Amino acid sequence: MIGPRRWMKRARRTGVAWGFCLTMVACAQVPRLNSLTPRWLQRGTTNTVTLKGENLAGFTEFLLSGAPGLAVTVVPAAAPTVTVVSDDDAVAVAADTNREVTVRVAVGPHAGLGARELRLASPLGVSNPEAVEVGSLPEVREVEPNNTLAEAQRVELPAVLNGVIDAPTEVDTFRFHVRKGEEYVFDVHANRFGSALDPSLRLLDAQGHELARGEDELGLDAFIAFAAPADQDCILQLRDFRFRGGPDFTYRLYAGALPYVDYFFPFGGRRGQTVAVAVRGRNLDGLKELNLGIAANAPLGLQEVRAHTPRGFTNARWLDVGAAPEFTETEPNDTAAQANTVGLPVSINGRIQADKDVDQFRFKVGPGETVVFEAYASVFGSPLIPLLTLTDAQGHVLQRNHEGAGRADARLEQTFAQAGDYVIAVSALLAGGGENYGYRLTARQPAPDFAAVCLVDTPRVHRGATAALRVEVRREGGFGGDVEIVPEALPAGVTCAPLVITPAFGGGTLMLSAAPQAALGHGRFRLRALGAMGGQRVARAVRPQAGDRRVKEAFVTVLEALPFQVEPLTLSATVAQSEGGAIAVEVTRQPGFTGEIRLALEGFSAGRDPITRSLETEPVTLKGVETRARLSFKARLDSELGTRPVWVRAESTVAGRAVSCVSRPVMFTADEFPFVLATSLPRVSVTAPAGGATSAANEAEFSVRAVRRGWFTDAITLALEGLPEGVTATATN
Residue 661 is assigned to a structural domain of this protein: yes
Q: What is the pLDDT of residues 120-167, one digit of tens each?
A: 999 999 999 999 999 999 999 999 999 999 999 999 999 999 999 999
Going from the C-alpha of 712 to that of each of 67, 642, 706, the distances in angstroms are: 63, 18, 11
pLDDT at 12: 35
Longest dimension (CA), the chain: 111
CB distance 599 to 622 below 8 Å: yes
Q: Could you tell me whether strands 114-122 and 32-37 are parallel, antiparallel, or unpaired per DSSP bridges?
A: unpaired
Residue 7 is assigned to a structural domain of this protein: no
What's the CA gap between 683 and 219, in Å, rounded? 59
Mean pLDDT on 176-203: 95
CATH of the domain at 71: 2.60.40.10
3-state SS, residue 230: coil
**pLDDT(14) > 80:** no
What's the CA gap between 294 and 267, in Å, rounded? 13
Going from the C-alpha of 359 to that of each of 276, 324, 425, the distances in angstroms are: 22, 20, 6
Question: Which residue, among 451, 462, 300, 444, has the nearest Cα to 365 in the 3D structure?
Answer: 444
pLDDT at 28: 54
- Same domain (yes/no): 47, 105: yes
Residue 597 is assigned to a structural domain of this protein: yes
- Same domain (yes/no): 436, 332: yes
Q: Angle at Cα 97 formed by Cα 92 and Cα 99, nearest 5°? A: 125
Q: How many CB atoms lie within 10 A of CB 354?
A: 12
What are the residues facing 548 on neighbouring strands?
none
Mean pLDDT on 372-389: 95
**pLDDT(249) > 60:** yes
**pLDDT(20) > 70:** no
- Same domain (yes/no): 398, 464: no
Q: What is the DSSP string of 484-541?
A: EEEEEE--TTEEE--EEE-TT-SEEEEEEEE-TTPPSEEEE-EEEEEEEETTEEEEEE
- Same domain (yes/no): 150, 186: yes
Average pLDDT of the chain, as a whole number: 89
CATH of the domain at 180: 2.60.120.380
Could you tell me what percent of the chain has a pLDDT over 70?
91
Residue 24 is assigned to a structural domain of this protein: no
User: Can you list the alpha helix ranges (DSSP code H) found in 31-167?
Assistant: none
Residue 588 is assigned to a structural domain of this protein: yes
**pLDDT(27) > 70:** no
What's the CA gap between 482 and 531, in Å, rounded? 6
Q: What is the pLDDT of residues 279-303, one digit of tens each?
A: 999 999 999 999 999 999 999 999 9
- Same domain (yes/no): 574, 553: no
Q: Which of 169-178, 321-330, 597-606 has the lowest mean pLDDT?
A: 597-606
Confidence of residue 23 (pLDDT cuts 50, 70, 90): very low
pLDDT at 504: 83
Q: What is the pLDDT of residues 656-706, one digit of tens each?
A: 889 999 999 999 998 887 776 777 666 777 676 766 666 666 777 777 777
CA torsion angle 190 194 198 200 (round to 10): 0
The secondary element (H helix, E strand) that includes residue 622 is strand 620-622
Of the residues 544, 559, 574, which one is the last residue of a structural domain? 559
**pLDDT(65) > 60:** yes
Q: Angle at Cα 539 formed by Cα 534 and Cα 545, nearest 5°? A: 130
3-state SS, residue 697: helix
Domain range for 704 is 675-733
pLDDT at 605: 81
- Same domain (yes/no): 650, 703: no
- Same domain (yes/no): 118, 157: no
Count the domains in the chain. 7
Residue with more model confidence, 690 or 627: 627
Residue 659 is assigned to a structural domain of this protein: yes
Q: What is the DSSP string of 408-465?
A: -SEEEEEE-SS-EEEEEEEEESSS---TT-EEEEEEEPPPPEEEEEES-SS-EEEBT-
pLDDT at 25: 36
